[in-house]
Chains A and B, each alone.
Chain A
Amino acid sequence: MALTTEPTIEESAGLPSASRRRAVPSRRRGLLSSGWTKGAGLVGAAGVLVLLVFASVAYGSKSIPLGVVLEALLDHDPTDNDHLIVRSLRIPRTLIGVGVGVALGLAGAVMQGVTRNPLADPGIFGVEAGAALAVVVGIYVFGIGTLTGYVWFAFFGAGVASVVVYGLGSVGRGGATPVKLALAGAAMAALLSSVTSAILIVDVTSLDQFRFWAVGSLAGRDAAIAGQVAPFIVVGVLLALASGRGLNALALGDDVAVSLGERVQRTRLLSALAVIVCSGAAVAAAGPIGFIGLTVPHVARAICGPDYRWIMPWSLVLAPSLLLAADVVGRIVARPGELQVGIVTAFIGAPFFVFLVRRRKLAEL
Chain B
Amino acid sequence: MRTVLPTDGTVVLRSDRLGISTRVHTRSVAVSIAVATVAAGVFAWSITVGDFPIPLVDVLSYLVGRGTEDADFIIGTLRLPRGLTALLVGAAFGLSGAIFQRIAHNPLASPDIIGINAGAAAAAVFVIVVIGGTSLQVTSGALVGATVTALAIYLLAYRKGVTGYRLVLVGIGITAMLGSVTSYLLTRAEIFDAQRAVVWLTGSLNARSWDHVRPIGVALLVLVPCAVGLARHLRLLEMGDDAARGLGTRVEVARGSLLLTGVALAAVATASAGPIAFVALVAPQIARRLTGGRTLALVPAALCGSLLLVGSDLLARRLFAPTELPVGVFTAILGAPYLLYLLARANKIGSGG
Name A residues whose Cβ lies closer than 8 Å to a Cβ of B: 117-120, 124, 168-169, 171-174, 177, 179-180, 182-184, 186-188, 190-191, 193-195, 197-198, 200-202, 204, 207-208, 211-212, 214-215, 290-291, 294-295, 298, 339-340, 342-347, 349-351, 353-354, 357-358, 362, 364
Contacts and interface: CB of A to CB of B under 8 A. Distances in A.
Interface string B259-278: 00000000000000000011
B343 interface: yes
Given A174-B346, A358-B157, A190 B340 contact: no
Contacts of B108: 117, 119-120, 124, 182-183, 186
B173 A207 contact: no
A295 B176 contact: yes
A350 B174 contact: yes
B168 A350 contact: no
B199 interface: yes
Contacts of B352: 179
Interface residues on B, range: 35 or more
B179 A346 contact: yes
Contacts of A172: 343-346, 350
Given A190-B277, A207-B191, A295 B331 contact: no
B156 interface: yes
A197 B336 CA distance: 16
Interface of B: 106-109, 113, 156-157, 159, 165-166, 168-170, 172-174, 176-177, 179-180, 183-184, 186-187, 191-192, 194-195, 198-199, 201-202, 277-278, 281-282, 285, 323, 325-326, 328-333, 335-337, 339-340, 343-346, 350-353
A184 B176 contact: no
B330 A194 contact: yes
Given A119-B108, A295-B176, A346-B180, 17 more contacts: A119-B168, A168-B340, A168-B343, A169-B343, A171-B346, A174-B351, A179-B351, A179-B353, A180-B343, A187-B339, A188-B336, A201-B202, A201-B325, A201-B329, A346-B177, A346-B179, A357-B166
A187 B179 CA distance: 20
Contacts of A190: 277-278, 281-282, 331-332, 335-336
A115 to B, nearest CB: 9
Contacts of A195: 329, 333
Contacts of B165: 118, 362, 364
Contacts of A339: 184
Contacts of A198: 325, 329
Contacts of B337: 187, 191
Contacts of B195: 201, 204, 207
The 9 closest A-B pairs by CB, nearest first: A172-B346, A190-B332, A174-B351, A346-B180, A187-B336, A191-B336, A194-B332, A346-B176, A350-B177
Contacts of B277: 190, 193-194
Given A168-B343, A183-B343, A197-B202, A347 B177 contact: yes
Contact of B172 (A191, A194, A215, A295): A295
A358 B170 contact: yes
A204 B352 CA distance: 44
B176 A291 contact: yes
Q: Is the interface of B mostly helix, strand, loop or mixed?
A: helix
5 contacts: A172-B343, A186-B281, A194-B332, A295-B172, A358-B166
Nearest to B350: A180
Contact of A197 (B159, B192, B328, B350): B328
B111 to A, nearest CB: 13
B143 to A, nearest CB: 23
Contact of B344 (A118, A171, A294, A364): A171
B203 to A, nearest CB: 10
Nearest to A170: B344
Contacts of B325: 198, 201-202
Contacts of A343: 180, 183-184
Nearest to B167: A357
Given A174-B346, A197-B202, A198-B329, A211 B187 contact: yes
Given A118-B169, A294-B176, A191 B333 contact: yes
Contacts of A200: 198
